[in-house]
Structure 1
Amino acid sequence: MREKFNQFMQGRYGYDDLNRFLSKVFFVALILSLIGTFAGGWIPGIAVVSRVLYWIALVCLAYCYFRMFSRNIYKRSEENNRFLQRTEGVRSFFRNKKNIMEQRKYYHIYTCPGCRQKIRIPKGKGKIEVRCPKCGKTFIKRS
């Protein structure tokens, strides 16, 4: 069975970042639609919103499968590249925040009072005098 599926998928585009995003939108819209369906009796007007979210979920799912099973690899790749270019700012923002949070385990990150440059100091060194590499200003901080 697995071999038949692999044979079927040969020459088809497959799964990429845009499909991953579309599938997440699908699940969020579907869950919100289900919540709206069950809360329809308590909140007036939510039934219309629920139906709209349901249709958004179905369109996202259909487009995701269309892209995955498409044989036009060049066009699907171009769509994915456009998506990645348009979302680069948001993705880099969250990548930087994740990197800073990982570094906080081993380092303190201070801001220079002179030039606002971020300076990374290892934890556990006690009170130390920090010299900013950009402007040369020195200040004392606990590490």
Structure 2
Amino acid sequence: MPEKVVFSMKAWLQRFMSGRYGFDRFSGFLSSCSLILIVLGALFSSVLYWLGLLLLIYCYFRILSRNIQKRYQENLQYLSLESKVTGWFSTRKTRFQQRKQYHYYRCPHCGQQLRVPRGRGKISITCPKCSTQFIKKS
């Protein structure tokens, strides 16, 4: 008598996803944006709704893709851009937290950002990058 074959949804999904790219940070970003656009499109504009659906389709295309190298490169580009954006906001947050202790100036010669302590009166600032000296009030 033959043994019963137990159908496992988990095993089927693992076999199906074998050799496919899967979910990454860029896919997560796309799915979040598509959800937001679909909700806004349902409330306000059908254009946003269709744009959200297109983003969702592209997200699933990336997840189910077998071209792993191409999807990996796309994710690296996204992570690079995300790092630049979060770095910019992080710099602004740090400057805002230190606004009572420090002034920030830009070197007139090379453009380097310089941080000097507040409350020292007029001081001569020397740029560590190009050695240009300039006078500013701290």
> Which of the five TM-score ranges fits, normalised by the shorter chain?
0.5 to 0.7
Partner of 1:98: 89
The answer for the alignment partner of 1:138 in structure 2 is 134
Q: How many residues align?
A: 122
For 1:2 and 1:127, the matched residues in 2 are separated by 70
* 1:13 counterpart = 2:13: no
Provide Cα deviations, 1:94-140, integer angstroms capped at 9, x if missing partner. Answer: 3442242243124431234x435421125xx6315242223532324
Letter in 2 for 1:74: Q
Contact 1:109 1:121 (8 Å CA) reproduced: yes
Q: Does 1:28 align with 2:21?
A: no
Question: What's the TM-score once normalised by structure 2's chain length?
Answer: 0.61
Tell me which structure has the larger Cα radius of gyration. Answer: 2
Q: How many angstroms apart in 2 are the aligned matches of 1:14 and 1:96?
A: 27
Call closer, same or farther: CA 1:141–1:33 in 2, change over 3 Å.
same
Equivalence map 1:35-46=2 (5 Å)? 35-36=43-44
Distance 1:90 1:51, change over 3 A: same
Which one scores higher on RCO, CA 8 angstroms, separation ≥ 6? 1
Please list the CA deviations of residues 14-40 of structure 1 after superposition, one character each: whole Å capped at 9, or x if unmatched. Answer: 22343234223312321321221xxxx
Q: Whole-Å Cα distance in 1 between the matches of residues 120 and 59 of structure 2?
A: 55
**Structure 1: unaligned runs, 5 residues or longer:** 37-49
